[in-house]
Structure 1
Amino acid sequence: MASVLDALWEDRDVRFDITPQQMKTRPGEALIDCLDSIEDTKGNNGDRGRLLVTNLRVIWHSLALPRVNLSVGYNCIINITTRTANSKLRGQTEALYILTKSNNTRFEFIFTNVVPGSPRLFTSVIAVHRAYETSKMYRDLKLRGALIQNKQLRLLPQEQVYDKINGVWNLSSDQGNLGTFFITNVRIVWHANMNEIFNVSIPYLQIRSIRIRDSKFGLALVIESSQQTGGYVLGFKIDPTDKLQDAVKEINSLHKVYSANPIFGVEYEMEEKPQPLEELTVEQPPDDVEIEPDEHTDAFTVSFTSYEYFTKIIIYSPSFCSKLVCRYVFCGTKMYI
């Protein structure tokens, strides 16, 4: 049996200039937000691009040359901060700094929103990364965790218990420990009956193999975890043999289903997902800002009074914020043209 982890690289690697196929979402990966007019200020300063935020990584690519791109997995991120950066498109402006480590090499990325007045660059990436960090039980093997409450498994969101098997011996010591087995749609959990804190949670994502092998205690269920988690070999004895074989068949079946469509546990939804800028069509009402034609007109000819008007609307009318910001951006784009 091959682990799902063997093919998973999206959240565990930093890659540059990936292929169009690698830019596509893998099974279980979902696109959460799409931000246009984002500049990779450190690597491609002055190049307008698009930032895709998924539940496993952030992807940036140049709009002019899509083959110029990068993919940053959340598991590689060491720190996220906001600081001032110098952008060729925006000048001195607040930017998103992401410090990462991949294959013992550190990378720093600076992303700047070319469109003024939109905080989504910061809120989307930071919030989704936080959701990733707080959902590690879906993806990491855990020993002696707070897994059991009142003899019942503390379920994760999206988790369902498919089977509960009593009288399962953990063979990690010479005498063994009698406990209870939980089989769910995302992991296998065992805990000792005499001491609930003596437990283990094994996500399907980290399972390398599941088989029945002979041991000094007789036939046993043996689960080998991935090398990333230390390559644990965990043995469990389930009597009678028919019950053991049924358990192995059920675990293999659930592991196969999980492999086809993994549940990574990262849950985050945008309240309102705006369309990309190029797809927006904006009708300008009579009361909107008017731009007087002038031979010296450029992107900065909008009056201070008009800018203040938009700022107040954005601050005090959140329900109209997205639409008004887009309208202001649209006018700005027109002025550049």
Structure 2
Amino acid sequence: MASVLDALWEDRDVRFDITQQQMKTRPGEALIDCLDSIEDTKGNNGDRGRLLVTNLRIIWHSLALPRVNLSVGYNCIINITTRTANSKLRGQTEALYILTKSNNTRFEFIFTNVVPGSPRLFTSVIAVHRAYETSKMYRDLKLRGALIQNKQLRLLPQEQVYDKINGVWNLSSDQRSIRIRDSKFGLALVIESSQQTGGYVLGFKIDPMDKLQDAVKEINSLHKVYSANPIFGVEYEMEEKPQPLEELTVEQLPDDVEIEPDEHTDAFTAYFADGNKQHDREPVFSEELGLAIEKLKDGFTLQGLWEVMG
């Protein structure tokens, strides 16, 4: 049985042009800040948009065309810095640079505040990402973690102990659904973690049988309650509360004109980080340009690349 939390992608992925449903907050996700008049300087230079900062990701969408958007999960972020960028709306100005890695591909994002004199773009994103980085125990499976101090369990903020079961054997050394399974030690409590956390199979022997069955019922019940509204541990509050995310996202009405998709000009191409490739491809002569250029990847054309960068 797959865990309900297997569907958690918001903090683990970088996605482009997501649906209105995917822009909504999932259970446990909360909108922390909303910044209007933010330009996506790397991919949509000159286009005014809105930046939404949640406890799991940042979302940018164009105000003119909400279907043009980005969702950047905090777990994908490698580095956040501030640098000078050339914005069509602001000219040379300080911007927020975010380097990410998703599915072995590096993407770079540049966000510029169109309104002068407001540092919230930098303070909100950097502070919330720091809060995410320092609360990983809420979201990851840790082996050999520093859980005990002075013979007491170190509880996380908002964590509660519901039960203590003595005399439990850890059988996991020879190998998040929770069930009873047979092992060479007899019937055991087995917890399977999601693939995102390594797909571990953890086994525990509890005697007698009725004690084992009670433990399985209790853990399954707590897991069900938690999954309905997870605690992700990212604690950061703005002085001024933003509107709910659902009220800020605009319904994406279907266009009257049908646009044929061009499979070679993917939306994310404009966001490739310079360091994404391991080495330069061999030079070839381009009759179209009349000079030597780096060989294009299979399936890409010069015309397609000009359309993406235009």
TM range (shorter): 0.7 to 0.9
Rate the CA distance shift 1:301–1:58 in 2: closer, same or farther, 3 A. closer
Rate the CA distance shift 1:95–1:210 in 2: closer, same or farther, 3 A. same
Shift of residue 230 of structure 1? 2.5
Shift of residue 4 of structure 1? 3.1
1:273-288 superposed matches below 5 A: 273=241
Q: Retained in 1: the 8 A contact 2:32–2:242?
A: no
Rate the CA distance shift 1:303–1:78 in 2: closer, same or farther, 3 A. closer
Larger relative contact order (C-alpha < 8 A, sep ≥ 6)? 2
Shift of residue 232 of structure 1? 1.6
Shift of residue 5 of structure 1? 3.0
Q: Retained in 1: the 8 A contact 2:6–2:195?
A: no
Q: Retained in 1: the 8 A contact 2:20–2:249?
A: no
For the pair shown, which has the larger CA radius of gyration, 1 or 2? 1
Q: Retained in 1: the 8 A contact 2:10–2:57?
A: yes
Q: Please list the CA deviations of residues 210-266 of structure 1 after superposition, one character each: whole Å capped at 9, or x if unmatched.
A: 111122222111111222332221111111111111000000001111111111111
Calculate percent identity across the aligned residue pairs: 95
Q: Which has the higher strand share?
A: 1
1-structure distance, mates of 2:271, 2:167: 76
2-structure distance, mates of 1:258, 1:59: 25
What SS class does the counterpart of residue 251 from structure 1 fall into?
Answer: helix
Rate the CA distance shift 1:116–1:173 in 2: closer, same or farther, 3 A. closer
Q: Retained in 1: the 8 A contact 2:24–2:246?
A: no
Q: Please list the CA deviations of residues 274-327 of structure 1 after superposition, one character each: whole Å capped at 9, or x if unmatched.
A: 7899999999999999999999999999999xxxxxxxxxx999xx99999xxx
1-structure distance, mates of 2:200, 2:30: 30
1:115-130 superposed matches below 5 A: 115-130=115-130
Aligned length: 283
Rate the CA distance shift 1:221–1:258 in 2: closer, same or farther, 3 A. same
Q: Retained in 1: the 8 A contact 2:38–2:112?
A: yes
- Deviates most, 23-32 or 141-150: 141-150
What SS class does the counterpart of residue 187 from structure 2 fall into?
Answer: strand
Q: Which runs of 5+ in 1 are unaligned?
A: 175-207, 305-314, 325-333
Rate the CA distance shift 1:289–1:20 in 2: closer, same or farther, 3 A. closer
- Deviates most, 214-223 or 63-72: 214-223
Shift of residue 126 of structure 1? 0.5
Rate the CA distance shift 1:298–1:96 in 2: closer, same or farther, 3 A. closer
TM, length-normalised to structure 2: 0.76
Q: Which runs of 5+ in 2 are unaligned?
A: 273-283, 287-291, 297-306
